[in-house]
Every structure is written in C-alpha cells, then in structure tokens.
Structure 1
Amino acid sequence: MKRIHVAAAVIRAADGRILIAKRPPDKHQGGLWEFPGGKVEDGEAVERALARELEEELGIRPTVVRPLIQVRHDYPDKQVLLDVWEVSAFAGEPHGAEGQPLAWVAPGRLGDYQFPAANAPIVAAARLPEQYLITPDGLTPEQLLAGVQRAIAGGTRLLQLRAPNLFDAQYRDLALDIQGLCAGKAQLMLKGPVEWLADFPAAGWHLSAAQLRQLAGRGRPLEPGRWLAASCHDAEELALAGELAVDFVTLSPLQATQSHPQARPLGWDAAAELLQHCNRPAYLLGGVGPGEIERALQIGAQGVAGIRAFWP
C-alpha cells in the first residue's frame, strides 16, 4: 500500500491562536477537526503543495513557514505521511473557501477538539515551545527555587526538575513549591518513581530510559491530558516511547558534554535519521543551546533541551 503524502499547516496568528478546520462528513475521518492542508502530488515540492492547498482551502498565501513535524500513521484502510509545517505569517484573510467551518483556538484548548488519531503528535507539537530547560545538578533547593523563578520570569514555558543530589523528601517538597511557581505560566515536568504520579496532578512526568524499559508492554502510566515525556538515546528507545504513547522525547547526546563525557555523541546526521522515524516531538539534548534551535528545527526536531545553556 502506497503511503499518501499530505502537507499540513499549523497556522499561528500573532496572538498565538491556531487555525483548525472541520472535515466534511463524507470524507475519510469526516466530522473531525484537522490542520489545513492536502495531498502532495507526484513530483511536487512539499512547500509548493502546502501553498497551493492553503490558497484553495482558505484563500491565503503563506509567507513565513518552517518544518514542524513529520508523522507516519497507518489507518486500517490507508497509510499517510503527514508533513507538517508551521505558518507564522500569511497574506489574505482565512475563510472556509470550500464551505468548511474554521476555528481559531488557543494552543492549550486544542485538546477540547476531536482530531483524527494521526494528529495527536501534531497537537502536541503545536502546544510545545522550542526550548526545554532542565535544572542543573548540585544545587540546593533554595538555589533551584530562585533559578526557576528567574527562568519563568524570562519566558521559560517548559522545564524539568532534575535534582539527583537531593533526597526523595527534599525533591518532593521542592516539586510542590515549583509546581506553585509554574501554575498558569510554565509546564513542569518531574522525574522519579511513577508511584508519585498521583501526588503531583498539575505536573507532567519525564521517564528515564530505564523506566521506559520497565514499563514496556504495560501501557501509558498516566492519563491523556497530562504530559508524558521520555529520555531516548537510540532507535530502540524511541520505539519504546512510541509504544507507551509518550507526548514528546529528548534525544541525546547530540554532541559531547561535560556532564556525560563517557557517552558517545550521535552527531547531527544520525539524529536527523532517527527523527525521520520518531513520530512525536523531539528535543535534541547534549552540547546544544539557543544558537542551535534553527538547525534543530530544520532536521525535524521540536527544538533543543539544555541544562547550563538555558539556566539563568
């Protein structure tokens, strides 16, 4: 069965809202919401197909675009490759040129709308920022609290509390304090035993590679709607993350780092190859900072994750 290549757009307004459209009831997955776009013709460049489809469907011409995510999905009756681009500027006024209903939706409310199953990673990618802050080792709870406060004030929207030097009780107390700081401003991701999940309902969970293996075959350990991430280092771990239906991953180490000098770096080419089959938002981690975001986006990553490079 030939995989159908579809170009789709996450169209973002200046205020951050995202444009979605409702599929006609007589089409495949009819009645569900989708990100506008359509089929790439044989020999057609993806960006050209995207521009053509948006002109036909919405009467707009994209002027600023970048790759966001590629998703391969197998339905019972067809296989699709969703080639998704973010459109941050366009000419014209969007309207349902084919009579389809449209809605401008805040990223955090996308979960209120029903999308085809293949669109779940796109919804996640549309909601996630380009930077993922991971807290440094060796700091006291007071230093971590102060640093997280500064990071949130500086615009950090996604952060992981990683503090392997703290005792469990210290970590849990600190997690409660930081959960309060993040409320309404940033998404907090915690690390630790999955038995703690119920104690921190506002936080997401970032699984270690060891936890990925322990949970293999047991299903997703927390309900949809709460962020679940995982640390991955190779194709096998990316596949395990997919089986667990995690929302996003970190892929590391991209380059040599002081914190993990013994780890063999992937390099940009190998990372790009792994991302081709990842099917979910991925942050590159290890020896990268804000200066590498653009390169990361161009090879299909969600962005970059960092410790010292992002710590205020």
Structure 2
Amino acid sequence: MGAIVHVVAGALIDAKDRVLLAQRHADAHQGGLWEFPGGKLEPGEAPADGLRRELDEELGIDMVAHRPLIRVTHHYPDRSVLLDVHLVTEWRGDVVGREGQPLAWSARNALDGYAMPAADVPIVKALQLPSVYLITPPSVGKADRFLASLDNALQAGIRLVQLRLFDIVDAPLEDIGTAVVQRCDAYGARVLFNGDPQLARRIGAHGVHLSGRRLYEEPASGTQRHGLLAASCHSPKDLQQAARIGADFAVLSPVLPTRSHPDQEPLGWETFAQWVEAAQLPVFALGGMQPSFTELAWQKGAQGVAGIRGIWSDEPAG
C-alpha cells in the first residue's frame, strides 16, 4: 500500500468552545466530507512547524498556543494516513477559507452531526472527553462521606467519573449509584458504571466501563451501546480489542508504581507512549497519576490522566 502519509491537523477552539471544521473539495480524496484543517507534512518538517504553515495557507492565521490532542493511524483501501492532531486555542488573525473551502464552527457535542472521514472519528471522541477521569474508591464506607468527596471533586471541575464499587450489591448499590448520577447530572458530569449494564441503565449512568475481563466478552458485555463505552487495558492487544468493539476510550495501566498494586511492574512513560501510538481511540494514563501529570500525559499521547487516590479526596471541603 506504500508509505504512511503523515498529516498534521488542528482542532481550533474559539472563545465559545466551538470547533472549526472545513469541508473538503468535491474532487479531493474523501471529497465533500468535513475535516479538521491541516495537510501533509513536508520532508524533514516538524509537526508544529507543518501545522503552523498549513493553518496559514488554509485559514490565514498564525498559530500561537497549541498542545497535542491525539495521533491516529488509519488504513483506507487506497492509502494509509497518520493524523497528528493538535488542539489550537490561540492564534493571530481572522479565520477565512483561503482555498475557497466552506467553514463551520460546531459545538463539541454536535460534531457527530457532520459527515467526516473514518480517520476523524477518534478525534471527535477526544474532543468530547475531558483531560481527567475520576475513578471512585472501590468501597463506599460511609455513604454521606463518600458523596461529600464526590461533591468536592465535582466542585473542583471533574466532569467524567467511573463508578466502581465492590463492597455493596443489589439495592444499596443501586441507591448509591442513583445518588452519584444525580449529583453528576447537576454539574454536567458523566458517569460510567463499572459493572452490570442493566444496573447502569437503572441508575441513569451515561455509559459503561468494561473491566479487563469483560472487554473480551461479546457482544461488548451486553452493553448494546448504552451511552459511552470505555475499557480497562493493560496491553496492545487490549487496546486493539477496545477499538474493535467500538469503545469510545480506554485507560491503560499501570504507567507508574501504585500503592494498590506494589508488585505489578509499571509500564513507564516510554512504553505507554509506544503502545498508545498504535491505538485507534483516546487513551487515559492510569496508575500513579494525579492532575499535575496531565501535561506530561498529553506529550506522551494520552487523552489525559485517570485515577483514584491522586484525584479523590476524603477530606471535607474548605
């Protein structure tokens, strides 16, 4: 099929948190579809330099602030592409279609309404996810204290939560799950339930998080695609399986040593980066993480960081 075509693209975010899309010319590859502005890297060109050049040529702007969002390799029948996508949050100049291409500003949650090349689907998912994924402790303990800690996290800006509880079942689990979802709804946060998909529906969860074991159960552990689907991964094979079943994102662990699994060999950031390079979906770094590691995680190809102890606090607010 030939060499992989390295393409840089920018997801421009304006002051209203809208994303810029450009429509491909009808006679181009994937013509008529909407995409994120960008183009092929020139030989020897660094991705940031190539993106700056492409945004100037296509939109007439000078890129000022950006950071890595996601890298996606996709194989079309006639070619393979590596999309190197950056989130662009600041630029100089007014955005115009200098090549006559139609432009559109879209809310992040409306991006699914635009017909895009298949390679762009993981980019849309990455844009619709936050940079921090909170995993609850596995034990409730005292319900009021548990919910107070959740409130603290939501007030601090957490907008994606995995509800993962092992010390209660049946009615008590459904009760606490319902309370968690109600609190998250009030903040516009989404909850993924790690457990029975039917219970996830009953508590009003926004999706399901599959354990490493359930990742290989078909079809997708009976989720029938209720909302978001995420998966716990520990190997490149797991990441491939997560993409195969259509998961929206994955967590890959353990990146660093953890107190909960002191005997488990950590991947380290370099192995993490190598495995994520080939992934076909957004991946959070898990294991020894805390919010201060987010920028490092971005540089290693991650969507962001996921964790319990580094994010969840049992201390009362104030």
The TM-score normalised by the length of structure 1 is 0.94
Of 172, 192, 196 in structure 2, the residue corresponding to residue 193 of structure 1 is 196
Q: CA deviation at 1:180?
A: 2.0
Distance in 1 between the 2:139 and 2:182 partners? 22
Matches within 5 A, 1:213-252: 213-215=216-218, 218=219, 222=223, 226-252=227-253
User: Match of 1:267?
Assistant: 268
Matches within 5 A, 1:124-163: 124-139=125-140, 140-163=142-165
Q: Deviations over 1:14-41 (max 9, x none)?
A: 3321111111122111121111101112
Distance in 2 between the 1:300 and 1:50 partners? 17
User: Match of 1:212?
Assistant: 215
User: Match of 1:293?
Assistant: 294
Distance in 2 between the 1:75 and 1:200 partners? 40
Moved more, 97-106 or 295-304: 97-106
Counterpart residue type for residue 171 of structure 2: A
The alpha-carbon distance between structure 1 residues 225 and 127, as it changes in their structure 2 partners (threshold 3 A), is farther
Q: CA deviation at 1:198?
A: 4.2
User: Match of 2:167?
Assistant: 165
User: Match of 1:181?
Assistant: 183
Specify the SS of the correspondent of 1:69: strand
Amino-acid identity (%): 44
Q: Deviations over 1:134-180 (max 9, x none)?
A: 11132333333222222222211111111111213322222222222
User: Match of 2:99?
Assistant: 98
User: Match of 2:316?
Assistant: none
Distance in 1 between the 2:123 and 2:68 partners? 12
Distance in 1 between the 2:39 and 2:229 partners? 30
Q: Is the 8 A contact 1:159 1:188 kept in 2?
A: yes
Q: CA deviation at 1:210?
A: 0.1
Q: CA deviation at 1:104?
A: 1.4
Matched, 1:308 2:283: no
Matches within 5 A, 1:7-156: 7-139=8-140, 140-156=142-158
Q: CA deviation at 1:304?
A: 0.6
Moved more, 39-48 or 138-147: 138-147
Counterpart residue type for residue 32 of structure 2: G
Q: Is the 8 A contact 1:220 1:245 kept in 2?
A: no
Counterpart residue type for residue 291 of structure 1: S
The alpha-carbon distance between structure 1 residues 21 and 221, as it changes in their structure 2 partners (threshold 3 A), is farther
Distance in 1 between the 2:70 and 2:20 partners? 17
The alpha-carbon distance between structure 1 residues 67 and 191, as it changes in their structure 2 partners (threshold 3 A), is same
Q: Is the 8 A contact 1:220 1:246 kept in 2?
A: no
Query: RMSD over aligned Cα, in angstroms?
Result: 1.8
Distance in 2 between the 1:148 and 1:163 partners? 14
The alpha-carbon distance between structure 1 residues 48 and 244, as it changes in their structure 2 partners (threshold 3 A), is same
Q: Is the 8 A contact 1:9 1:84 kept in 2?
A: yes
Q: Is the 8 A contact 1:111 1:225 kept in 2?
A: no
Specify the SS of the correspondent of 1:15: coil
Distance in 1 between the 2:121 and 2:203 partners? 24
The alpha-carbon distance between structure 1 residues 12 and 33, as it changes in their structure 2 partners (threshold 3 A), is same
Q: CA deviation at 1:127?
A: 1.3
Q: CA deviation at 1:197?
A: 5.0
The alpha-carbon distance between structure 1 residues 220 and 165, as it changes in their structure 2 partners (threshold 3 A), is closer
Distance in 2 between the 1:59 and 1:201 partners? 45
Distance in 2 between the 1:109 and 1:76 partners? 28
Distance in 1 between the 2:74 and 2:146 partners? 41
Moved more, 137-146 or 14-23: 137-146
The alpha-carbon distance between structure 1 residues 53 and 75, as it changes in their structure 2 partners (threshold 3 A), is same
Q: Deviations over 1:79-98 (max 9, x none)?
A: 11101111111111111111
Distance in 2 between the 1:220 and 1:112 partners? 27
Counterpart residue type for residue 154 of structure 1: A
